[in-house]
Structure 1
């Protein structure tokens, strides 16, 4: 599970860094200067704990589904995303009148994250 949590951190760093970082910051209305450097370790620590919990719960889904290989693990991540993440997030973003492009960036990250974590966890069983 630790490996998949580390992978989630890598996916997040790429997603909100070189891939979509500038667009995401513009959509949420912040700049690099708005981030307090002393808060970064706390933020990353909190995210890592969240990734560990997510990996544990996803591993339970994979176990219950019998998804014991890379492809089936990734598919389990896809179904978890579609059933719980994408559907919950869309309503939140619509009622908050947040830009749909922001939804696509954030939901896309969650999808990429669950696919990678699912593939790793599925291949470990």
Structure 2
């Protein structure tokens, strides 16, 4: 089963679109800035090339792992040891190759992954960093939405 690298790229870019909306001052941006003590002046002092460049690399890494979370057929290939020539695998993929390969199914798995992976990681860090629940919910909420959209793009785009 081949990776759809264009879908992975678009999924990674989707995190920027969600971030642009999510962290807009009219949505959750002011809450987030207040909770971390960020000011407009301090934000402008950041190295934007570094911030956005590394953010894109991290988003690509994240999107690269989403197919294993959202596409069941990849699990079948992995169970066969990655051997695309295995006759049992070929038969399985011919019978079930397109089942559960749609945007809705990918969004469901992305949402579940966000809820059960991103939320606990961010919440645990927030507890030890003594961050507020507002911060935790804004930050984890962003990742749940991003993972939902990434899952939809990667699973549904054939």
Common fold: TM-score over 0.5: yes
CA offsets 1:58-110 (integer angstroms, 9 cap, x no match): 11212236641111100110121122111122222122211000001001100
TM score, norm. by length of structure 2: 0.73
**More displaced, 68-77 or 35-44?**
35-44
In the alignment, what sits opposite 2:17?
A: 10
Q: Structure 1: how far apart are the matches of 2:53 and 2:109? A: 26
| 1:49 aligned counterpart, secondary structure | helix
In the alignment, what sits opposite 1:86?
A: 119
Question: Is residue 76 of structure 1 aligned with residue 109 of structure 2?
Answer: yes
Question: Is residue 106 of structure 1 aligned with residue 139 of structure 2?
Answer: yes
Structure with greater proportional helix content? 1
| 1:115 aligned counterpart, secondary structure | helix
Q: Structure 1: how far apart are the matches of 2:29 and 2:54? A: 20
RMSD over aligned CA atoms reads: 1.6
**Matches for 1:1-125 after TM superposition, within 5 Å:** 1-17=8-24, 18-37=26-45, 39-64=47-72, 67-125=100-158
Higher RCO structure (Cα 8 Å, ≥6 apart):
1
Q: Structure 1: how far apart are the matches of 2:46 and 2:36? A: 21
| 1:35 aligned counterpart, secondary structure | helix
CA 1:3 to 1:87, structure 2 compared with 1: closer, same or farther past 3 Å? same
**More displaced, 88-97 or 27-36?**
88-97
